[in-house]
A = this chain, B = another copy of it.
């Protein structure tokens, strides 16, 4: 029932060799290098399988199309950072932890997803050092949500 096909192999390889979460289109482009004539439908069908098999994890950022990343390569719990300038997504291998107390009475927290937004190192440098160091250590919630 679970067959090994050139397509599935190429798709899985594309995801695993990527250093970042890839969109379905990006996976198609990458895997097409191995398997010409590869169709987008096949990519979606295999992505669905891989997610069910828990070999691949879906990264769904607000307002963005789903991205897919290897579950084996990034096995541990992590979050994401999206640069508001270049739109790239980075893994953040840190976690605030201890979020269970945030839930209202009677609610049980099983897991959580966190996305940070801001300026990545590259865009930050490119923009000229306009950001004072003090901001880096300021309280996260003090300024609330300020769209970039």
A145 to B111, CA, bound (A): 5
| CB of A41 closer than 8 Å to a CB of B | no
| CB of A148 closer than 8 Å to a CB of B | yes
A125 to B85, CA, bound (A): 45
- Residue among A58, A66, A77, A104 facing the most chain B CB atoms (10 A cut-off): A104
In the complex, chain B residues whose CB is within 8 Å of the CB of A107: 81, 90, 116, 118-121, 124
Assess whether A147 is in contact with B104, with CB atoms less than 8 Å apart. Answer: yes
A92 to B109, CA, bound (A): 12
In the complex, chain B residues whose CB is within 8 Å of the CB of A5: none
| CB of A62 closer than 8 Å to a CB of B | yes
- Residue among A58, A90, A106 facing the most chain B CB atoms (10 A cut-off): A106
| CB of A137 closer than 8 Å to a CB of B | yes
| CB of A37 closer than 8 Å to a CB of B | no
Q: Which residue of B lies closest to A106 (CB)?
A: B121
**In the assembled complex, how far is the CB of residue A66 from the closest CB belonging to chain B, in whole angstroms?**
7
